[in-house]
């Protein structure tokens, strides 16, 4: 099911032995377009320290209680590597993070999560209950970074989801609106659509833009550039934030944009990365 990331803000994270804090932000991968980490404000128990929690460690959100189960203990989180969430998260930081929690490196492989498409396939022992046991991989070879997969330690493609909200939306004809949010797949945390306002030609109109239609992002000038003509955007089906986005609506969107649906690409084991941003 597709969910708006804004709806997860302030959700409580529940470790196996108690609450650890609430969601304040998300870091997404600007190449694969998937949420890699939840940013958690821990509160008084950890001196209001902010920590990162990977979808590899969490179960299904409880939308009624506004809580997310985490298959980690408070002590494991307390001892996790320090990461300054006010600065870019480098690949070296991610490696330290993965080694601490004994995760395989998600950037090795062709899937959204390493060789797999879903976090549950990477760590199948994680379930959506607070009584889970943290799995121990059978071999440290899962953590090995072969030479062909090595990255510059300072290389990062993680961005704040909330920072992108408010970015200006441009086509080759100029500015047409702003980014308001993101819709994610609640199974694999892939970002399926940007929620945008198109008030430049219709007041109060919201639309959905697939990452495959994004030509690039100017992080300095806060601009999302689309590879779609302006008139195509004007005719985009309206998005009602109170309605669930079903597959029929998604089909109409992809037909309108003339873009191959993501679910067809993934079923055919095509490259899951829809684009590279600059």
102 Rama sector, left if φ>0, alpha if ψ -120 to 50, beta otherwise: left
Residue 181 clears pLDDT 60, i.e. is over it: yes
Categorize the per-residue pLDDT at 147 as very low, low, confident or very high, splitting at 50, 70 and 90.
Answer: very low
Q: According to the model, what pLDDT value does residue 110 have?
A: 84
Q: According to the model, what pLDDT value does residue 156 have?
A: 66
Residue 272 clears pLDDT 80, i.e. is over it: no
Q: According to the model, what pLDDT value does residue 175 have?
A: 87
Q: According to the model, what pLDDT value does residue 13 have?
A: 96
CATH superfamily of the domain spanning 2-158: Photosynthetic Reaction Center, subunit H, domain 2 (3.90.50.10)
Q: According to the model, what pLDDT value does residue 242 have?
A: 86
**Domain ranges (residues) in the chain:** 2-158, 165-267
As a whole number, mean pLDDT of residues 32-44 equals: 93
> Could you tell me if 101 and 54 are in contact, meaning their C-beta atoms sit under 8 angstroms apart?
yes
As a whole number, mean pLDDT of residues 52-73 equals: 93
> Could you tell me if 88 and 156 are in contact, meaning their C-beta atoms sit under 8 angstroms apart?
yes
**Integer-rounded Cα radius of gyration of the chain:** 19
**What pLDDT, in 10s, does the model give residues 79-130?**
998 888 777 788 888 999 999 999 989 998 888 898 888 887 776 554 433 3
Fold of 165-267: SH3 type barrels. (2.30.30)
């Amino acid at each position: 099911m597709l969910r708006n990331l804004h709806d997860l803000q302030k959700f409580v994270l529940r470790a196996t032995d108690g609450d650890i804090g609430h969601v304040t932000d998300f870091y997404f991968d600007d190449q694969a377009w998937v949420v890699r980490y939840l940013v958690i404000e821990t509160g008084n128990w950890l001196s209001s320290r902010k920590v990162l929690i990977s979808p590899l460690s969490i179960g299904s959100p409880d939308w009624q209680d506004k809580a997310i189960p985490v298959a980690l203990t408070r002590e494991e989180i307390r001892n996790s590597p320090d990461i300054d969430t006010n600065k870019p998260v480098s690949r070296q930081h991610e490696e330290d993070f993965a080694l601490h929690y004994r995760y395989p490196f998600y950037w090795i492989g062709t899937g959204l999560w390493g060789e797999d498409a879903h976090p549950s396939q990477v760590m199948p022992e994680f379930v959506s209950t607070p009584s889970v046991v943290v799995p121990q991989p059978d071999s440290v070879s899962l953590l090995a970074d072969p030479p062909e997969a090595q990255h510059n330690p300072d290389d990062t493609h993680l961005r704040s989801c909330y920072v992108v909200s408010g970015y200006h939306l441009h086509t080759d004809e100029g500015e047409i609106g702003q980014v308001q949010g993101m819709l994610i797949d609640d199974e694999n945390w892939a970002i399926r659509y940007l929620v945008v306002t198109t008030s430049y030609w219709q007041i109060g109109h919201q639309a959905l833009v697939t990452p495959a239609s994004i030509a690039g992002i100017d992080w300095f000038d806060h601009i999302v550039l689309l590879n779609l003509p302006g008139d195509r955007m004007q005719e985009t089906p309206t998005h009602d934030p109170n309605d669930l986005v079903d597959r029929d609506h998604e089909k109409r969107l992809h037909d309108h944009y003339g873009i191959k649906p993501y679910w067809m690409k993934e079923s055919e084991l095509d490259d899951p990365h829809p684009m590279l941003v600059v």
